[in-house]
Amino acid sequence: MPRVDADLKLDFKDVLFRPKRSSLKSRSEVDLQRTFTFRNSKQTYIGIPIIAANMDTTGTFEMAQVLSKHTLFTAIHKHYSVEDWKNFAASHPDLSVWIPSHPGHRLKSWKKRKWNLEKSTVPALKYICLDVANGYSEYFVEFVKKVREKFPKHTIMAGNVVTGEMVEELILSGADIIKVGIGPGSVCTTRIKTGVGYPQLSAVIECADSAHGLKGHIISDGGCSCPGDVAKAFGAGADFVMMGGMLAGHDQCSGEVIEKNGKKYKLFYGMSSDTAMKKYTGGVAEYRASEGRTVEVPYKGDVENTIRDVLGGLRSTCTYVGAAKLKELSRRTTFIRVTQQSNLSETCI
């Protein structure tokens, strides 16, 4: 018999922060840096816990160079060659990035990434991203265990899932940080094509509770369309927030600038879109459907400006709720349900 969970589940658009008394005099007093010691790798991380998504348009070496100046992470996409990694490592030995890997039939892909790690192609590399659309596969859980066994001192990010029991299973299998989110991304069509998903705010709240009970961590992956959404993800309990669409369209993104009717654009697409699959695998296999779309994003220039906007918005949120540190934001958060977030209208002057 089918089951129906009648409990209300919420997305970022369904809530606002309730303001609270604050002793802060200025946004500049807010400390956005976090310090984490990861459960399985025992590594300690210090930085602002925002990550560029491992999509080929945003997870680039160029993006990593800019984000690292602000102690932000970049999850590098999986389509760089070993030679690309060698050149990048030689010129940027101290940059912290996530190296991608992928289970399943792409054995050659995994062997290439393992070679990067074992042969010290990137000497300071400490972080591995194990990324699949459906983290509920038993095969994926076994893959996480194998990677942990092979690399006991590396910090492993694994996902994607949206429920507490799978967060717990992946952490107990060796992952340190779990990616949370199925279908919330701006160029993801999984919810439309499959009917599968989970409202992102509720997913983060529930998964954070499960992870923190085991001294693990989570990343809110997808669903952020503005700085306020990033703040809501942290307020809901996310330890890290991953951004894709918000970082699209910049100089540091891959692809050429397109001009149409005097306006400039850059392509942005999901990694399960027709565009991505034609680019890397020759097309969409007969047994599957495209679960991503391709859009033309207005050209935004240097990503530095967007990063400052996001960090500024996050500091402002903290001042409104009385959190002197990002670490305190979830404890200071009370969400209120709303039917409208913005006071903007097409009829506004």
Enumerate the active-site residues. 188, 190
Residue 294, annotated as binding a ligand: no
Integer Cα distance of 48 and 32 in angstroms: 6
Question: Does 289 appear as a known binding residue?
Answer: yes
Structural contact between residues 219 and 33, judged by C-beta atoms closer than 8 angstroms:
no
Closest to 292 in 3D by CA, of 244, 229, 228, 227: 244
Distance between CA atoms of 343 and 86, rounded to whole angstroms? Answer: 50
Return the DSSP state at 136: T
Please give the backbone phi and psi of residue 167, each rounded to the nearest 5 degrees, phi first. -60, -45
Cα–Cα distances (Å) from 113 to 7, 30, 106, 300, in that order, read 42, 38, 11, 32
Is there a binding annotation on residue 292?
yes
Q: Is 191 known as a binding-site position? A: yes
Say if residue 27 carries a ligand binding annotation.
yes
Do the beta carbons of residue 316 and residue 329 sit within 8 Å? no
- 86 annotated to bind ligand: no
Is 306 known to sit in a ligand binding site? no
221 appears as a binding residue in the annotation: yes
- Report whether 109 belongs to an annotated binding site: no
Residue 28, annotated ligand binder?
Answer: no
The answer to the question of whether 243 is labelled as a binding residue is no
DSSP code of residue 74: E
Residue 78 labeled ligand binder: yes
Structural tokens at position 174:
């060796």
Q: Is 287 annotated as a binding residue?
A: yes
Comparing CA positions, the residue from 238, 241, 294, 285 lying closest to residue 265 is 294
Residue 324: both structure tokens together: 């002197």
Residue 215 marked as a ligand binder: no
Q: Is 94 one of the annotated binding-site residues?
A: no
197, burial (CB in 10 Å: exposed 0-12, middle 13-18, buried 19+): middle
Is 317 marked as a binding-site residue? yes
For residue 255 the two structure tokens come to: 């692809």
| Residue 223, marked binder | yes
182 is in an annotated binding site: yes
Alpha-carbon distance 98 to 342, whole Å? 35
Closest CA to 104 of 82, 130, 67, 66: 130
Which residue do the tokens 């994607």 mark? 160
How far apart CA 227 and CA 238 sit, in angstroms, is 15
Burial of 31 (0-12, 13-18, 19+ CB in 10 A): middle
Q: Is 26 annotated as a binding residue?
A: yes
Cα dist. 127→34, 217, 287 in Å? 17, 14, 33
Residue 319 annotated in ligand binding: yes
Binding-site members for K(+) are 183, 185, 188, 191
Binding residues for NADP(+): 26-27, 78, 131-133, 182-183, 271, 287-288, 316-319
Point out the annotated binding site. Answer: 26-27, 78, 131-133, 182-183, 185, 188, 191, 221-223, 244-245, 270-272, 287-292, 316-319
Q: Which residues are annotated as a binding site for GMP?
A: 221-223, 244-245, 270-272, 288-292
